[in-house]
């Protein structure tokens, strides 16, 4: 049996970064755009968080991958449970910001950027851009 130490999020980071850079190269977004531009009113202080900060992990947006609410359906055996991107963002921002945007770097495991830009699942974004 083949096993791996890398979760799917580790794989999607490369796809998300590629799509973000492609969209920036096409002039459809700027790395300097604020989260507020793409998710108006959803993320507190989103007028001070840029796409660049989301991608380089300096936004201060809290992680949610170990959040008990997120894990509950999977730990109960419902491995096909699907969280909407909006619900994941709401859960993430329900926690205190880890630091002010641009003041530190922390590797985050969520796909907030891709969902902010398109509200599509990362896999669908990747297929559309392939």
Write out pLDDT tens, residues 40-97. Answer: 988 888 899 999 988 888 888 877 766 788 889 988 999 888 888 888 888 888 888 8
**Active-site position among 10, 30, 84, 94:** 10
pTM equals 0.65
Alpha carbon distance 125, 117 (integer Å): 10
Angle at 86 between CA 94 and CA 27, to 5 degrees: 115
**Cβ atoms of 74 and 81 closer than 8 Å:** yes
Retrieve residue 28's tokens: 């459809």
Mean pLDDT of the chain: 76
For residue 130, what are the CA distances in angstroms to 13, 54, 99, 126? 16, 23, 35, 6
| Mean pLDDT, residues 1-5 taken together | 47
Is 118 a catalytic site residue? no
Residue showing tokens 């799917």: 8
Q: What are phi and psi of 38, to 5 degrees?
A: -100, -25
Which CATH entry fits the domain spanning 8-129: 3.20.20.150, 3.40.50.620, 1.10.10.10, 3.40.710.10? 3.40.710.10
């Amino acid at each position: 049996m083949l096993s791996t130490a890398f979760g799917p999020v580790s794989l999607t980071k490369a796809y998300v970064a590629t799509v973000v850079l492609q969209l920036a190269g096409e002039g459809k977004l700027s790395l300097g755009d604020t989260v507020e531009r793409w998710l108006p009113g959803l993320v507190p202080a989103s007028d001070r968080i840029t796409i660049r900060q989301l991608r380089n992990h300096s936004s201060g947006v809290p992680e949610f991958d170990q959040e008990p609410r997120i894990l509950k359906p999977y730990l109960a055996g419902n491995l096909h449970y699907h969280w909407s991107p909006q619900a994941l963002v709401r859960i993430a921002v329900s926690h205190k910001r880890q630091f002010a945007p641009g003041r530190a770097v922390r590797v985050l495991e969520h796909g907030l950027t891709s969902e902010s830009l398109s509200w599509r699942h990362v896999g669908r974004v990747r297929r559309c851009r392939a």
